[in-house]
Amino acid sequence: MTDKQTLTIRDNRSGEEYEVEITDGSIRAADLGKIGKSDDDPGLSVYDPGFTNTASTRSAVTYIDGEKGILEYRGYPIEQLAESSTYLEVAYLLIHGELPTKEQHDQWVHEITFHTFVHENLKSQLQGFRYDAHPMGMLLSSVGALSTFYPEANKIKDPQVRHDQIVRMIAKMPTLGAWAFRHAQGKPYVYPDNDLSYTENFLSMLFRMSEPKYDPDPRLAKALEVLFILHADHEQNASTNAVRSVGSSQVDPYSAVTAGIAALYGPLHGGANEAVLKMLKRIKTKDNVPAFIEGVKNGEERLMGFGHRVYKNYDPRATIIKKACDDVFEVTGVNPLLEVAQELEKIALEDEYFVKRKLYPNVDFYSGLIYEALQFPPEMFTVLFAIPRTSGWLAQWLELVDDPEQKIARPKQIYTGARQLDFVPSSERWK
């Protein structure tokens, strides 16, 4: 006896029936292609703009249960990782699939720490940007440029070459992000300090001035560590899909990750925390919250930082970030907008409009408040997302290049344009 699950489809155009196998709750789109296939008909296809119900891969990196509010990296709950791990340990977990032994951990941290410097020519490239260049534009072009410094990176079948580029990219992202930040301020770029931890070194490159050694506040370094862990991966989102799609052409990983950074740059993806901050500034005081909520319910605008395509329960990352707020504000002083955010959350969570639609705070609701308290301008918020997401992108890229089922990404289209027109030369059309 086999417990094979199948689906029977009857094509009402022909009356023919087809049996299609169901595996892991999915059918293969290629099986649908057999339906109605003939010399003149390519067979049935699936129309799914935005991939809202299409699995593009099998993956063992990140698990999400949106109904229950569960997020796990390689099976480990995000809450436990945020509480007890470090970003670099989580990056190792994502890339290698398991937690490191002490030796593996020390070797990994050593390698990443000693690849934090970037080629001086890349520094010159960054210096060539206009004073007001958006740091995401600077980041994506400099990561793209890295492929020219490491031309061997295109040997994507070679495990050692892959490892070297992964280490380089995770190591250099904070350097490039911090330099983009300093550039906007007209301040000298600060070289990495390899005595410091990953997040301490990032704070040093962001904020060090004339002091011979930067002394980062451990509470801020820890809060950044938590934020980095929360943003490290989120399965097949738009930027990860961009990395996989571009990576499927077998290009080098710098170019594939550049595509991910570009996708993250967009306001529908990495830019929502900036929108939350602008919204809170506009509401200004706790007293203005009820009127704002009424406006949202009347469809005048959305409550930014609320709702999620996948999470229909509390976004587990939002709970952790809310806690991190307290630690950061202990150092920086409370951001007055926190009161507005808390009032918004309180009212919205009791209001039928939000309850009925399962709208809860998402990761972006509180993160902008922390970033602002750390003196980041809103344009830097997405850079702070891209730096830790690099490990997730690379874990997904590795999975892609090792997956024998994957092919170059090449979706179908339903053509809706004109056909077989006769070209009329301009000499006749423009008479």
Contact call for residues 282 and 380 (beta carbons, < 8 A): no
Torsion sign, CA atoms 290, 296, 301, 306: positive
- Binding ligand CMC by CB under 6 A: which of 100, 137, 144, 307? 307
Closest by CA to 163, choosing from 103, 101, 232, 115, is: 115
Contacts of 309 (CB under 8 A, 6+ apart): 66
- Considering only residues 234 to 263 of the shown chain, the ones binding ligand CMC according to CB under 6 A are 234, 237
Q: By the 8 A CB rule, do 354 and 309 touch?
A: no
How far is it, in rounded angstroms, from Cα 332 to Cα 188?
24
> Please, are residues 267 and 382 in contact by the beta-carbon 8 Å criterion?
no
Residue 40 designated active-site: no
From 89-97, 166-174, 297-305, 404-412, give the range in contact with ligand CMC by CB under 6 A.
Answer: 297-305
Q: What is the dihedral sign for C-alpha 413, 419, 422, 424?
A: negative
Binding test (CB under 6 A) with ligand CMC, winner from 89, 200, 233, 364:
364
The one among 197, 362, 390, 396 contacting ligand CMC by CB under 6 A: 362
| Eight-state DSSP code of residue 237 | -
Q: Is residue 177 at the binding interface for ligand CMC, with CB under 6 A as the rule? A: no
Our answer to whether residue 364 is catalytic in this structure is yes
- Name the residue among 297, 292, 369 with its Cα closest to residue 328: 369
Question: 243 vs 304, which CB is nearer to ligand CMC?
Answer: 304
Alpha helices by DSSP H, listed for 73-217, are: 78-84, 87-96, 102-113, 120-127, 135-149, 159-185, 198-207
What single letter denotes the amino acid at residue 383? V
Nearer to ligand CMC, 225 or 364 (CB): 364
Under the binding rule (CB under 6 A), the answer on residue 33 touching ligand CMC is no
10 makes contact with ligand CMC (CB under 6 A): no
- Our finding on whether 296 is near ligand CMC (CB under 6 A) is yes
Q: How far is the CB of 259 from ligand CMC (least distance, A)?
A: 16
Q: How far is CA 235 from the centre of its chain?
A: 9
Least CB distance to ligand CMC at residue 231 (A) = 9
Q: Which residue in 269, 327, 351, 403 is the catalytic one? A: 269
C-beta of 168 vs 308, nearer to ligand CMC:
308
Q: How many CB atoms lie within 10 A of CB 127?
A: 10
CB-nearer residue toward ligand CMC: 153 or 318: 318
303 belongs to the binding site for ligand CMC (CB under 6 A): yes
- The number of residues that bind ligand CMC (CB under 6 A) is 18
Please give the Cα distance from 88 to 391 (Å, whole number). 9
Question: Among 308, 394, 396, 400, which residue sits at the site for ligand CMC (rule: CB under 6 A)?
Answer: 308
Residue 234 is among the residues annotated as catalytic for this protein: no
User: Given candidates 306, 371, 381, 397, which one binds ligand CMC under the rule CB under 6 A?
Assistant: 306
Phi, psi at 424, each rounded to 5°: -110, 120
Binding of residue 233 to ligand CMC (CB under 6 A): no
Told to check if 363 binds ligand CMC by CB under 6 A, we report yes
357 binds ligand CMC (CB under 6 A): yes
Q: Does 359 bind ligand CMC (CB under 6 A)?
A: yes
- Residue 95 to residue 289: CA distance in whole angstroms: 43
Minimum CB–partner distance for residue 237 and ligand CMC (Å): 6
Q: Give the nearer residue to ligand CMC in terms of CB position, either 182 or 234.
A: 234
φ/ψ region of 332 (left if φ > 0, alpha if ψ in -120 to 50, else beta) reads: alpha
Cα separation, 284 vs 279, whole angstroms = 9
Q: Which residues are catalytic?
A: 269, 308, 364
Q: Which spans of this chain sit near ligand CMC (rule: CB under 6 A)? A: 234, 237, 269, 272, 296, 302-309, 357, 359, 362-364
